[in-house]
Structure 1
Amino acid sequence: MGKFFSGPADVTLWDGTNGFYLLGYLADVEIGSKVLTHTIIDGNLRRYAVNYRLRAAMLQSAEEAITEINSTRDGTRQNIYLTKFDGLAVMSNVFAAAGHSINGREDDIVEVTAAGYNTVTKYKNLLGADGKFEVDSNSDGVADGWTDGASAASIVASHLSGGGNAQRVNLALSGDNFYYEVKAPFETARRLAASVYAREHTGLGTLDFTFGFKTLDTAGAVINTYADTYNFSAGQAQRVTKEVFVNEGQPVASVRLFVEYAGSGGEIRMDNAQLELGPLSDFKDY
């Protein structure tokens, strides 16, 4: 069995029926994987099993966690989120089971076994490739993964030296906004950073906008907003950022990176958007 994850993390289960279940902050998480069968599915997918070894001492209630996984969530495919201080790992579409194990070093370990067809996906930029605005699958002018609440939006040529696409958004009216929301559950205080390379699109007018991120609870309600307002002159371009140490005192389920109207209408062009756990860093599309 190969180990491909270790260290401290907030561990959370989620499915569409039961919602979120936070196992808690675990100081010592180890994940190993092994192939259960060598059956090839659709030509390229293998069946995997992944063992999670979670220290019971770090759980609020080991017995409660075992009951939640084995009874409430039995037979329902889960997404399992491991939120570290510098990234996110997600096991998607897996079945989970839990039990006790004992060895010579620890008296009691809760071992969660997750079996499914997907491997772990690891993120540094929580937006992944969607932060590049390259793909608009339905040709509606809005890049995949993003939500448009603005007066108009379209895919345009990037203003960055690497070329490719960018996202144009017309922030003309009060309430106009454009955002990307991602599940990144955590309860432990941590640093988050949002950034995007923005430009006043037309080269003719000014642009006032607010940029930052919101934390949301398990019901989808906003807990807090962390943002700054920018005033761009005609054609102005810069990387705008918001970096905050977040300590909400309650579980965070999702984080929403956003841009919105801020008092004077205009058109913004955006590329290389990033939302990351940890301090601000150079752009990544993974």
Structure 2
Amino acid sequence: MANNAQFIYGGGGDLTLYDATNGWFNAGYLSDLELSDEPVRADSIRGQKVQFYSRHILTSEELQSHNALVAELNNRRNVEQTVYITSDDGALFTMSGVLINYGLKRPFNASDAHKTVITLQTGVEPTQEENLIGADGKFETDSNSDGLADNWTNSPAVSSVSIVTSHLSGEGNAQQISISAGNSGAVYYSKTAPFESPKKITFSAYIKANAASTFIMRISTYNYSGTLINSYDKTVTMSLSETTRQSHSVQIAESSGVRDVRCAIVGDGTNAADITMDNAQLEFGNLKDFRAA
């Protein structure tokens, strides 16, 4: 079988490595990432394919003077990594079971800097996410029947949460959130999506006001220790039965690397809010049409 690589992504992005022994390392922004799926071997018996092997390869070139990167690659060379790429086109790629290789690329001209050629390889299919909330933004599953959709969290100051029939066309569920006046409780979703270079992030949802409501749409960033870096708020006021897609966008340029991003509906500490939310989306870049992945 011919080894014809299938192109997945090419361009710039933030590259982050993780393993339990060495912890987190953000390599920063790399301008020439290339991710591809390369078939290696297919075995067949009497014309029936019984096994298929492929490897997913990420390559990049960085200046040899990037000593911190070279040292980290050397420490992690024989340890399987989880690799995160936040790409220029707004997608988050995650690769697991990754093995690292790197070498020195000598320039044609002696005056040019040497480069380190990085190769990251795994047999596990990379995941690609544009909506960082994914299917959890549809609120279809509440496994423990606590009124809150799976993988969402609420603080004690939220008066009540419940799964209800969606206010959008078609069948499905939505998340109802009630926050009494004077409270600043939150319902939130956290996602590991590491980055270091400036990024625009947008949080959106289709919201119906079950009563006159004022609340905050919040985007927060957390560092590699899980400590809050910053929160960015937008106050929203809706009238009874108003139904609309609400969105909040912010340009983020933190002084330290970001590991986790969180989106939240938060009480403003003064007014009451009683809303139903569906098709929630958290994405890099400008507001785009809803997608569940």
Query: Which bracket does the TM-score occupy, shorter chain normalised?
Result: 0.7 to 0.9
Structure 2 distance, partners of 1:142, 1:19, is 32
Q: 2:72 aligns with which of 68, 74, 85?
A: 68
What are the superposed Cα offsets for residues 26-79 of structure 1, whole Å, 9 maximum, x if unpaired? 11111222245659xxxx99654222221122x762x5434423424733x432
* CA 1:112–1:64: 2 relative to 1, 3 Å: farther
Equivalent residue of 2:192, what SS?
Answer: strand
Q: Distance in 2 between matches of 1:243 and 1:141?
A: 28
Taking the aligned partners of 1:223 and 1:275, their CA distance within structure 2 comes to 18
- For the pair 1:259 / 2:262, whether they are aligned, the reply is no
* Whole-Å separation in 2 of the counterparts to 1:23 and 1:237: 43
Match of 2:160 among 118, 142, 152: 152
Which residue in 1 is equivalent to 2:28? Answer: 24
Contact 1:80 1:91 in 2 (8 A): yes
What is the match of residue 95 of structure 2?
A: 92
Aligned position for 1:285: 292
Q: CA deviation at 1:16?
A: 4.4
Q: Which residue of the other structure, out of 204, 224, 238, is the alignment partner of 1:195?
A: 204
Relative distance call for 1:60 and 1:246 in structure 2 (3 A) is farther
* Shift in Å, 1:179: 0.5
Q: Deviations over 1:224-246 (max 9, x none)?
A: 21121122222222211111221
Per the alignment, residue 222 of structure 1 pairs with 228
Which residue is 2:46 aligned to?
Answer: none
Cα pair 2:15 2:30 within 8 Å, conserved: yes
Offset from partner CA, 1:194-231 (integer Å, 9 cap, x none): 11111123xxx322211131111111122221121122
Gaps of 5+ in 2: 44-49
Distance (whole Å) between structure 2 residues aligned to residue 25 and residue 214 of structure 1: 21
Residues 1:165 and 2:173 aligned together: yes
Contact 2:105–2:117 (CA<8 Å) still a contact in 1?
no
* Identity fraction in percent: 33
Note closer, same or farther for the CA distance 1:101–1:72 as it changes in structure 2 (3 Å cut). Answer: closer
CA 1:89–1:37 in structure 2 vs 1: closer, same or farther (change >3 Å)?
farther
* One-letter identity of the residue aligned with 2:128: K
How many residues were matched structurally? 276
Letter in 2 for 1:200: A
Tell me the residue number matched to 1:270. 277
Name structure 1 gaps, 5 residues minimum.
Answer: none
- Calculate the TM-score normalised by the size of structure 2: 0.84
SS at match of 1:74: coil
Determine helix, strand or coil for the equivalent of 1:129: helix
TM-score (normalised: structure 1): 0.86
Asked if the contact 1:186/1:251 (under 8 Å) is kept, the reply is yes
Cα-to-partner distance string for 1:116-146 (whole Å, 9 max, x where unaligned): 4x21111221111111112223332221221
**Contact conserved, 2:96 with 2:126, CA < 8 A, in 1?**
no
- Gap change, CA 1:239 and 1:60, over 3 Å in 2: farther
Q: Quick one: distance in 2 between partners of 1:73 and 1:151?
A: 50
* CA shift digits 1:237-271 (9 cap, x unpaired): 22111112211232111110100111223322100
Instruction: Determine if contact 2:42/2:51 at 8 Å carries over to the other structure.
Output: no
Aligned to 1:179: 188
Query: Are 2:118 and 1:111 equivalent residues in the alignment?
Result: yes
Larger radius of gyration: 2
Which of 27, 38, 44 aligns to 1:34? It is 38
Q: Is the 8 A contact 2:197 2:253 kept in 1?
A: yes
Contact 1:10/1:84 (CA < 8 Å) preserved in 2?
Answer: yes
